[in-house]
Amino acid sequence: GKVVLVVNVASRCGYTPQYAELETVWKEFKDKGLVVIGFPCNDFGGQEPGTSTEIRDFCSKTYGVTFPMMSKVQTKAGEGQSEIYAFLSAGTGKLPSWNFGKYVVGKDGKPVAFFGSGVKPTGEELRKAIEQALAVKPVS
């Protein structure tokens, strides 16, 4: 029954400052039914070499991240691809081409939109998709 924003993240990327914006989105919408989940990924440029503990510590200390962070995953298709990214790509027809790709998943558990790295978490396009997903009434 929650809307989920799934993001493949990395600590050594030009987009890494988006962690702060993701935290802003999390704080603004979490009481309205949004969950932001970060999935560390080392698929692009080897920009997430750390362990899960190192990644969580970095995010917390550097960007004040309080939203859930998962263990490192592989987003790229093929052997070793995480099940969540296989599911998300099947539902949208898209996979991240770099770090900080963002999927909006509706209350029914189905992905409804994908936004690339260049789309800011606090940008109007992504905010509209989140607000629309939150406005959908669950089927009883």
User: Which structural domain, as residue segments, surrounds residue 12?
Assistant: 3-135
Query: In the numeric block, which tokens belong to residue 45?
Result: 């440029």
Residues 49-77 pLDDT 10s: 999 999 999 999 999 999 999 999 999 99
Give pLDDT, residue 100.
98
**HSE-up (13 A, CA, CB side) for residue 115:** 20
Inter-residue contact 41 to 74 (CB < 8 Å): yes
Question: Domain tally for the chain?
Answer: 1
Residue 12 belongs to a domain:
yes
State the CATH number of the domain containing residue 25: 3.40.30.10
Residue 140 belongs to a domain:
no
pLDDT-based confidence at residue 136 (cuts at 50, 70, 90) = confident
Catalytic residues: 13
pTM of structure: 0.95
Residue 72 belongs to a domain:
yes
Look at residue 138 and tell me whether its pLDDT is greater than 90: no
Residue 90 belongs to a domain:
yes
Give pLDDT, residue 116.
98
Inter-residue contact 120 to 15 (CB < 8 Å): no
Give pLDDT, residue 137.
76
> Dihedral angle at the C-alpha atoms of 30, 51, 85, 106, nearest 10 degrees?
0
pLDDT-based confidence at residue 140 (cuts at 50, 70, 90) = low
Residue 89 belongs to a domain:
yes
- Mean pLDDT value across residues 9-33: 97
* φ and ψ at residue 94, rounded to 5 degrees: -135, 145
In eight-state DSSP terms, residue 32 is G
Helix (H) or strand (E) holding 85, with range, is helix 83-92
d(CA 81, CA 79): 6
Residue 45 belongs to a domain:
yes
